[in-house]
Amino acid sequence: MTGQMRHWDHVYTKGTKFSGGPSDFGLRAIEMMEAKGSVDVLELGCGQGRDTLEMMARSMSVTAMDYCSLACTQTAQEAHTRGLSGLKVIAHDVREGLPFDDDSFDVCFSHMFLTMELEDDEVGRIMSEVHRVLRSGGLHLFSVRNDHDDRFRQGIDHGSGMWEWNGFVVKYWTRDDMDRFSAGLIVEDVWEFYEGDPPKTLYGVMMRKP
């Protein structure tokens, strides 16, 4: 395990529950998916599945990934407890690529995953992989912390826009990063929102594969 992977494993081992329900960002993204009639969703960095389970409850077919196997187990157990069947949850480091055929999904969704410990070249490769596995017209819906956040440039500088605070490494995106990392996807919408207390400042992003 690398440093941040160990960190997340520790968080989930402690039994910390992030939320009993879906995130506001997840709910907004689900509205966008439903408007498009999306069925097949790939989720990156699902954690304990607060948004995964909501997508399943709305009859979407979800393949969820997280590099922390304990988070995957907790998500699968919660799906079972709620009587939601058909979840595919895979323990996988997304930096190693996406193990799916081209044109496999209608949507790639992630909440606060692309804001994790990722070098610029790793983000570039992940975005190219997302482009490859999305069908034409497919959506990439994701959220990231941004450079308006109070913690931006606080703590230990890891380069590539990443700063470590309290053991967590966070990558802070600028508005220009959306175009820099779009990898052939069209940037259709970027909006700012806040989550948590004290509030984190994030961008929500919708990109579309032409």
CA distances from 204 to 77, 103, 145, 166, 177 (A): 28, 24, 9, 24, 13
66 touching ligand SAM, by CB under 6 A? yes
Q: How far is the CB of 94 from ligand SAM (least distance, A)?
A: 4
Residue 105 binds to ligand SAM (criterion: CB under 6 A)? no
64 belongs to the binding site for ligand SAM (CB under 6 A):
no
Could you say whether residue 203 binds ligand SAM (CB under 6 A)? no
Q: How far is the CB of 205 from ligand SAM (least distance, A)?
A: 14
Q: Of residues 53, 62, 108, 112, which one binds ligand SAM by CB under 6 A?
A: 112
Which member of 22, 30, 38, 47 binds ligand SAM (CB under 6 A)? 47
CB-wise, 71 or 183, nearer to ligand SAM?
Answer: 71
Tokens of 167: 């053991």
173 binds ligand SAM (CB under 6 A): no
Count residues binding ligand SAM (CB under 6 A): 19
The dihedrals phi and psi of 111, each to the nearest 5 degrees, come to: -115, 115
C-alpha span between 107 and 139 (Å, rounded) = 5
* CB within 8 Å of 125: residues ≥ 6 apart: 95, 97
Binding characters for ligand SAM, 113-132, by CB under 6 A (x = yes) = x--x----------------
Indicate the pairing of strand 200-208 with strand 168-171: unpaired
Please tell me whether the peptide bond between 210 and the residue prior to it is cis, using omega within 30 degrees of 0. no
Output the six-digit token pair for 165: 């605070």
Give yes or no for residue 111 binding ligand SAM (CB under 6 A): yes
Burial class (CB in 10 A: 0-12, 13-18, 19+), 198: exposed
Question: By CB under 6 A, is residue 200 in contact with ligand SAM?
Answer: no
User: Site for ligand SAM (CB under 6 A): which residue of 93, 121, 179, 192?
Assistant: 93
Q: Is 204 in the site for ligand SAM (CB under 6 A)?
A: no
Contact (CB, 8 A) for 171 and 114? yes
The only residue of 30, 33, 55, 68 in contact with ligand SAM, by rule CB under 6 A: 68
CA distance 90 to 96: 13
* Residue 62 engages ligand SAM in binding (rule: CB under 6 A): no
Residues that bind ligand SAM (CB under 6 A): 8, 18, 23, 45-47, 50, 65-68, 71, 93-95, 111-113, 116
